[in-house]
Chains A and B, each alone.
Chain A
């Protein structure tokens, strides 16, 4: 297994990605590779460019410079911003998933929880009602939403439940790459832990790759293999997660690590 993986191409290749808002810097010269089964964490204080970067990586915000190349399942490498809008949309629907910081941005509030999850399956071609309902129930269970809430609308859910529903909606189609912006922000610690465990299982068993923006160092320690530390739009430190947290080199990373309780 490891021999085959050695030769695997990166799933996502990011080169010199920069994004300016007029004259203001969003993020600058970010480069990294992401392989299948890898979780990359992005940390930094608010305003450091994390969400700008995540949007650039996930096809939502065209960078001012640089490139994002995705290794497709069957059609070789795809330069995300040189592809057609239609191709990019298809990618977002089939191979990628995006978990928004605010669950309302990722859910359809006017349809039931079950439909929120089932809809994504139908979008990738599943037409069998029984299968869809069974998959929806299964995924709601995995994020600890009781089956008897399947027909409720997300408006009837708490913020934490909405977030779990959003995650189920994204993961049900088994995407290869998931982008997450503060995915566990509104969740209480025990649900957060359950979710982390779920994600770890998917990463290990299905080779799911993920890019996770968070300010929670305890979450990245448990979830991310590698870590990018951002400050003022630039990556100031990048490496193995536990090394960045336990032996930080950059003054900013040291400050970040020392200003929280031990993770």
Chain B
């Protein structure tokens, strides 16, 4: 059996400035020459004060924002992809199979039931077999009561929506995980579950980059800390 090839990330010279054309072309430099790497089985926690650009880094890695300069090399199966230069098709393919992103907000088609949202991740990833049993198992693990499974999450509480968001990412063993405050609105029991999910993700070899405001969570899941202050762009 060949060992599974786990991915690593290497970021170098990453910069990002926002130009606000609707506000007299104001320039907002955020990141300058950012550099870090994440090995398989690591969880890198980005740290720094509000507004320093932590979420921006995750969005750049996910392709949601465009990099101004720099490279973000994803190495997997002896293949190298520069996420900063990848085509939209390439990014979309990576999002289906390789890179999972837990954002702070759930964004879904209004009427689609919760269970389908979770199962869709598996369908998109080409899961062989019935995607419903693992989807139900993940919803159960994150304590979404069964009576909610066939409802669309638009009316759910903040914490419930956040758990649907987590379920739909953790249901598939994404090799790369990007987590933006994944426990922000969760109670203690669910926080513990998420800690376990993250720990088992890097334990299976995933490369994880996250933002964890809760220090207890951060201490439990992070294998390394990156202080972002050194990459603060001069305004």
Contacts and interface: CB of A to CB of B under 8 A. Distances in A.
B89 A35 contact: yes
B86 to A, nearest CB: 9
A211 to B, nearest CB: 15
A250 B109 CA distance: 27
A243 B61 CA distance: 12
A194 interface: yes
B22 A190 contact: no
A243 B63 contact: yes
Interface in A213-245: 221-222, 225-226, 239-240, 242-243
B88 interface: yes
Contact of B109 (A196, A240, A243, A254): A196
Contact of A189 (B64, B92, B110, B126): B110
A255 B97 contact: no
B64 A243 contact: yes
A192 to B, nearest CB: 8
Nearest to A191: B111
Given A247-B64, A247-B66, A258-B22, A197 B109 contact: yes
Nearest to A192: B110
B75 interface: no
A2 B93 contact: yes
A242 B64 contact: yes
A246 interface: yes
B128 to A, nearest CB: 11
Contact of A240 (B20, B91, B108): B91
Interface string B75-118: 00000000000001101110001000000000111111000000
A251 interface: yes
Contacts of A240: 63, 88, 91-92
Interface-central residue, A2, A197, A200, by most chain B CB under 10 Å: A197
Contacts of B97: 2
A14 to B, nearest CB: 16
Contacts of A83: none
Contacts of B124: 204
Interface residues of B, number: 25
Interface in B104-142: 107-112, 123-124, 126
Contacts of B92: 225, 240
A64 interface: no
B147 interface: no
Contacts of B21: 250-251, 254-255
A65 B19 CA distance: 35
A172 B7 CA distance: 43
A38 B91 CA distance: 13
Interface-central residue, A200, A222, A240, by most chain B CB under 10 Å: A240
A204 B65 contact: no
Contacts of B64: 242-243, 246-247
A142 to B, nearest CB: 14
A243 B65 contact: yes
Interface string B1-40: 0000000000000000011111000000000000000000
Given A38-B89, A243-B64, A251-B22, 17 more contacts: A2-B93, A189-B110, A190-B110, A193-B110, A193-B112, A194-B111, A196-B109, A197-B112, A204-B123, A204-B124, A222-B108, A225-B92, A239-B66, A243-B65, A243-B66, A246-B65, A254-B20
Interface of A: 1-2, 35, 38, 189-190, 193-194, 196-197, 200, 204, 221-222, 225-226, 239-240, 242-243, 246-247, 249-251, 254-255, 258
Interface of B: 18-22, 59, 63-66, 88-89, 91-93, 97, 107-112, 123-124, 126
7 tightest A-B CB contacts, nearest first: A251-B21, A193-B110, A240-B88, A193-B111, A247-B65, A254-B21, A226-B88
